[in-house]
Amino acid sequence: MVINDFSSLDLWRFVTDGVMGGVSEGTMTRGREGDVDYVRLSGDVSTENNGGFIQIRRDMPPLPPEAQVLTLRVRGNGASYFANLRTTDAKRPWHSYRAEFQTTNEWRDITLPLADFAPAGRGFDVPLNTQNIRAIGIIAYGRDYTADVSVAQIGWR
């Protein structure tokens, strides 16, 4: 089942570490190639001033109980990125669940087992409950680098 096919970015928002004093900069843009719509997250991630991320994010309903994996169709600049899930279990803004994925310059399908999403954020170790998911994001995170990742589809199975 497809969560998002990027025919519209109305539900998505762009967030940087500027919300906590960081200096990372970037953009979220929509693109189209042939009949494929996608969102592109690009910019410069900086760990200066306790920063280190740029992100696109959207609210979403919980996944159904039978969901086992998150699927992505992505391409990028060869760097690694993270799929990020936020749940109602998060007690702080930085609490989430992350799974890393690698990009290439060609579109490719990525399968991320939900069991591989690890709690992220200081003092957060609650196991993932898919019924408590409230948002999904794609994040360039954790080191100084130029981010460039495009996502054409997000789904589950």
State how far the Cα of 150 lies from the Cα of 28, in Å rounded to an integer. Answer: 10
Q: What pTM was estimated for this model as a whole?
A: 0.95
Per-residue pLDDT reduced to its tens digit, 92-139: 888 999 999 999 999 999 999 999 999 999 889 999 999 999 999 999
Locate the domains of the chain by residue range: 2-156
State the residue for tokens 């495009």. Answer: 150
Per-residue pLDDT reduced to its tens digit, 46-70: 999 989 999 999 999 888 889 999 9
User: Residue 95 in contact with residue 121, Cβ under 8 Å?
Assistant: yes
Q: Is 139 helix (H, G, I), strand (E, B) or coil?
A: strand
The dihedral of CA 16, 103, 100, 97: what is its sign? positive
- For domain 2-156, the CATH class is mainly beta
Instruction: Report in angstroms the alpha-carbon separations of 42 from 79, 133, 156, 157.
Output: 12, 25, 25, 28
